Amino acid sequence: MCGIVGFTKKKYRSACCLEVLLNGLENLEYRGYDSAGIAVSDMEHQELKLCRAVGRISNLRRVVEEEKPEGSCGIGHTRWATHGKPSVENCHPHLAEKKTVAVVHNGIIENYQALKLQLQKEGVHFASQTDTEVVAQLLEKQYCGDMKKTLERVLPQLEGSFALAILDRNQPDTIYCARRRSPLLLAKGEDGAYLASDISALLDYTRDVWYIDEDSIAVLTPEEIMFWKDGEQQFPQSVHINWDSSAARKNGFDHFMLKEIFDQPTALRDTLNHYVDVEKGIIRRETMPFTMEQAKALKRLTIAACGTAYHAAVMGQSLLEQVAGVPAMAAVASEYRYSTMPPMEGEVFMAVSQSGETADTLAALTHKKAQGLRCLALSNVIGSTIAREADHVMYTLAGPEIAVASTKAYLTQVLLFEILALDLANLRGVLSDEELKVRIAELAQLPEQVEAILASKKTVEDFVQTQKNCHDIFFIGRLMDYASSLEAALKLKEISYLHSEAYAAGELKHGTIALVDESCLVVVTATQSVVLEKTLANMEEVRARGAELLLLGHFPVDHPHDCTVWNIPACSDQLAPILTTVYAQLFAYYMAKMHGCDIDKPRNLAKSVTVE
Ligand code: AGP
């Protein structure tokens, strides 16, 4: 989705403002966009200069090279069209009619039509179809000689969500910001002050950032950043982000997705070591969200998330029930945010989100918080909105995930559910300390087991070459294998655009089996011993309809199943779905590559969905 960057440079520093803006926008490309633009304050001519282009940042670079705007303070934006088609006119930044104000915006101004109509009645002419332009026009129209005061007057008139960065022609070294339900972070570096909607844009310059509070204003000059809320100056603490900028590069891999699949052993190790003392075989108490008393009082954990994070939640639901005996419910956040169910005594809510910014997940959390529930979050991004809103956060230590298709975030989310389930089981007295040690020793083997699967990537690649004509793929499994099948099908469809569906293996014959014929590939995941024979029987049902079969699990070399088998290393039933997922990720990746798809930036998708 849309991305914002901004920079105001100190005098006599060598940094080039245009380069910081363009580099920042390039680092935000992974979020998905269709056009991009920048605005700089040209001090000498006292004007705001715009450069905008449809398509890639390379197109914008060309425009910048041709027009050579000058300035040491500017804002930039990558746009993912919502109101108005991708075009230069609709591209951000937007200038107000008299060109005194330039605005970039993430989010949606829900009442923009009413505001636009009113402004048009007052004689204002609009140049775009966007909701954002009303903000620029309102700021210019209601300008009182002080942009902060003007913003304080304009913000209450806006409904919806926004992260705004604003240039005022009268103050060519200053950037004004404001936010409501859309992320925005600020930072000071040696060369000046920065802002961005996402830390990835700033990793080349700094690691210490400030988050702006909901409905707050920030004012950036080259030397300082000031924060204001309800007319009062605020002094928030900065947050240190421990990410390495090289982690946000491809490091020799063809795609971020493949690199991130190969990052998984490290991501699992880092996450595990943060929460668990592997040598002692204990969970680090201070990292866990429940005390013994709270664990015993827990009656239900409701988990809301979207997309891949939802699939991790489904996995979490099984783990919490099986391992800890805690009733759990995974819910799709876009539906759950409208749930009218009253909170239950002993219920705790959890939001799962890699980015920590997904609008529906945030709304579900806000809804539950308003009902008075204790709210936990599981996120990969320190200081993200969901992390800040929650009462307790468990961070996955996966590092920056750039590819739109989530891989390492998912695996570490499932690992955290494994750890949480073990901890709750131990605290509730259903798992002894000795048993816990054994389970932790199993967890500690996961990184190496994932490495072993990654080492067999050629097997996956070769199999994919035999699937050139395959356009319908079904993923079936039971219990946790069904949960991992949901993720396998999503991974494949989002990057290869092939039709893929996940079904609980026993459910197939209640309708969908009508679609199965010799043109289909059916991927059967069978790792759950309690239902193994039943899953294999379901496999025979699709074989009988002529489908080609691929079987994932642990099977002896001389297995009797007449089909391709990809084996995972020996492990418990609860950990097996983590390992089969790695095969599914590689399978999706090579299928998409064979079909020549834009793997890191699949069509129509955005990394972080910050609108409803
Ligand atoms: C993952 O491959 C997807 N692109 C998408 O489903 C994603 O998981 C979803 O939008 C939720 O994102 P979040 O984890 O950042 O909240």
Q: What is the pLDDT of residues 445-498, one digit of tens each?
A: 999 999 999 999 999 999 999 999 998 999 999 999 999 999 999 999 999 999
For residue 490, what pLDDT is reported?
97
Residue finishing a domain among 246, 275, 290: 246
If one residue of 182, 360, 406 were mutated to test the ligand 1 pocket, choosing by the most ligand atoms within 8 A of its CB, it would be 406
End position of a domain, from candidates 227, 246, 265: 246
Ligand 1 site, residue 306, Cβ cutoff 6 A: yes
Q: Find how far residue 278's CA is from the centre of its chain.
A: 29
- DSSP label at residue 403: S
Tell me the pLDDT band of 601, cut-offs 50, 70 and 90: confident
Residue 607: active-site member: yes
Q: Are 381 and 477 found together in one domain?
A: no
What is the distance between the alpha carbons of residues 326 and 320, in angstroms, rounded to a whole number? Answer: 5
Residue 588 has pLDDT above 70, yes or no: yes
- Are residues 232 and 165 part of one domain? yes
Least confident range from 408-422, 485-499, 544-558: namely 544-558
281 in the same domain as 236: no
Which atom of ligand 1 is closest in space to residue 306's alpha carbon? 11
The verdict on 365 and 513 lying in the same domain is no
Indicate if 278 and 426 belong to the same structural domain. Answer: yes
Task: State how far the Cα of 206 lies from the Cα of 195, in Å rounded to an integer.
Answer: 11
Tell how far the Cα of 354 is from the centroid of ligand 1, in angstroms. 7
Mean pLDDT of the 322-346 span: 94
Closest CA to 162 of 181, 146, 143, 140: 181
Q: Is residue 609 part of a domain?
A: no
Find the mean pLDDT for residues 407-422: 98
Which residue segment(s) compose the domain that 462 sits in? 456-600
Confidence (pTM): 0.79
Best substitution site from 354, 394, 490, 500 to test ligand 1's pocket, by max atoms within 8 Å of Cβ? 354
CB-CB contact of 135 with 31 (8 Å): no
Confidence bin at 256 (pLDDT 50/70/90): very high
The residues facing 351 across adjacent strands are 304, 377
Q: Is 450 domain-assigned?
A: no
Per-residue pLDDT averaged across 277-285, rounded?
95
Catalytic residue among 116, 259, 493, 607: 607
Q: Could you say which of 2, 306, 520, 571 is catalytic?
A: 2
Residues 222 and 344 in one domain: no
The verdict on 436 and 467 lying in the same domain is no
pLDDT digits (tens, 9 = 90+) for 99-112: 999 999 998 899 99
**Is there an atom of ligand 1 within 6 Å of 358 CB?**
yes
Atom of ligand 1 minimally distant from the CA of 606? 4
Residue 51 has pLDDT above 80, yes or no: yes
Question: Counting atoms of ligand 1 from 1, which one is nearest the CA of 354?
Answer: 14
User: Is residue 530's pLDDT more than 70?
Assistant: yes
CATH of the domain at 516: 3.40.50.10490
Is 606 part of any domain? no
Query: What does the longest C-alpha to C-alpha distance in the chain come to?
Result: 81
- Residue of 204, 179, 164, 162 lying closest to 25 (CA atoms): 204
Q: From the alpha carbon of 386, which atom of ligand 1 is closest?
A: 16
- Are residues 482 and 411 both part of a single domain? no
Tell me the two tokens of residue 179.
């936010």
Q: Is 206 in the pocket of ligand 1 (CB under 6 A)?
A: no
389 neighbors 362 (Cβ within 8 angstroms) = yes
At residue 236, does pLDDT exceed 70? yes
> Can you list the pairs that 461-470 forms with residues at least 24 positions away whose Cβ atoms lie under 8 Å?
461/586, 461/590, 463/550, 463/564, 463/587, 464/587, 464/590, 464/591, 464/594, 465/594, 467/521, 467/591, 467/594, 468/594, 469/519, 470/498, 470/519, 470/520, 470/521, 470/548
Q: Residue 246 above 70 pLDDT?
A: no
Is 427 inside any structural domain?
Answer: yes
pLDDT of residue 181: 79
Checking if the pLDDT of 33 tops 90, the result is no
Whether 607 maps to a domain, the answer reads: no
Say whether both 593 and 491 belong to one domain. Answer: yes
Pinpoint the alpha helices (H) of 476-612.
480-496, 532-543, 576-594
Write the CATH number for 170: 3.60.20.10
Residue 353 Cβ < 6 Å to ligand 1: yes
> Is the pLDDT score of 260 beyond 70?
yes
For residue 102, the surrounding DSSP H or E stretch is: strand 101-109
What CA–CA distance (Å, rounded) separates 400 from 381?
8
pLDDT in tens, 121-176: 999 999 999 999 999 999 999 999 999 999 999 999 999 889 999 999 999 999 99
> Which residue, 246, 278, 300, sits at the end of a domain?
246
Ligand 1 near 379 CB (within 6 A):
no
Work out the pLDDT band at 606, boundaries 50, 70, 90.
confident
Average pLDDT in the chain: 93
CA distance 50 to 40: 7
Please tell me whether residues 199 and 276 are part of one structural domain.
no
Q: Is residue 608 a part of any domain in this protein?
A: no
Residues 83 and 207 in one domain: yes
Cα 265 vs. chain centroid, distance in angstroms?
A: 20
Q: Are residues 48 and 188 in the same domain?
A: yes
Q: What is the pLDDT of residues 173-201, one digit of tens each?
A: 999 999 997 889 999 988 999 999 988 88
pLDDT at 245: 67
Q: Which pLDDT score, from 0 to 100, does residue 508 have?
A: 87
Domain count within the chain:
3
Percent of the chain with pLDDT over 70: 99
Q: Per the domain annotation, does 350 fall within a domain?
A: yes
Q: What is the distance between the alpha carbons of residues 331 and 328, in angstroms, rounded to a whole number? A: 10
Residue 566 within a domain: yes
